[in-house]
Amino acid sequence: MSITATELALQMTDVRKTFAVGDDVVVALDGVDLTVGHDEILALIGPSGSGKTTLCSIAGGLLTATEGSVVVGGQDISQYNARELTLFRRTAVGFVFQTVNLVPFLTARENLLVVDEIGPRTGARARDRADQLLEELGLSDRAKNLPAQLSGGQRQRVAIGRALMNEPALVLFDEPTSALDTELGDQVVHLIREEMKSRGKAAIIVTHDDRITHYADRIVRIVDGHVSGDTPAD
């Protein structure tokens, strides 16, 4: 796939990440080059400890690279300080974590609105955006429900809506099907594809489940901190 620089949601160039563990240095990523188009869905596959989560954490501004450059939605975040990274995470990237991480004492609507308490929208603009997303996700009738009153699939939809509140350039999904059975997992990844494609948003789906890769545009395999394969999905 040929992608020009103006079409990139993510460009990682020669990214290296190391961690000090006692007297040793552990290399988590080693010379990673990766691009993701502005409306592309990429499946990132690899065994536990291969560097998948580290790569996504760097792309999302949760970790900084030891070496190399990282550009997300046109922003070069490689040299951002902690304050700049916080603002970046609020406005340019969305996260859907493995355990969903909804606030249990907030309703579905409030779980979306809490994002904009620290984001660019306030008041009516934030409420309108939350209501729009809930409607598009088929959750209008569940807006006042707490997470415990929602099914696993509905909680995943709320998490997707929350990730989209600030219209990010890139959405990162960490093992979104790991706690779901095969049928529901298939439904959730189908939903992810529909929602990303309908909005022209880029997504990286971290997974070890080869069954869901047919929903991606491209598959990248990572082993021992190295990208070892980059192929179009079937």
Please report the pLDDT score of residue 223 as a whole number: 92
Please report the pLDDT score of residue 1 as a whole number: 44
Cβ–Cβ < 8 Å for 126, 189 = no
Mean pLDDT throughout 163-170? 88
| SS3 (DSSP) at 37 | strand
Mean pLDDT throughout 187-202? 86
Mean pLDDT throughout 39-62? 92
How do the domains of the chain map onto residue ranges?
1-92+170-177+202-234
Structure tokens at 197: 């494609």
User: How many Å apart are CA 153 and CA 189, to the nearest integer?
Assistant: 10
Closest CA to 155 of 216, 90, 91, 98: 98
Structure tokens at 186: 């298939």
Residue with tokens 């563990």: 21
Structure tokens at 142: 């569940």
- For the chain, the C-alpha Rg in angstroms (whole number) is 17
Report DSSP letters for 50-71, one per residue.
SSHHHHHHHHTTSS--SEEEEE
Mean pLDDT throughout 64-90? 93
Q: Would you say residue 4 has pLDDT above 80?
A: no
Among 11-25, 108-122, 138-152, 188-202, the least confident range: 108-122
Which residues are registered as beta bridge partners of 15?
Answer: 32
> What is the architecture of the domain spanning 1-92+170-177+202-234?
3-Layer(aba) Sandwich (3.40)
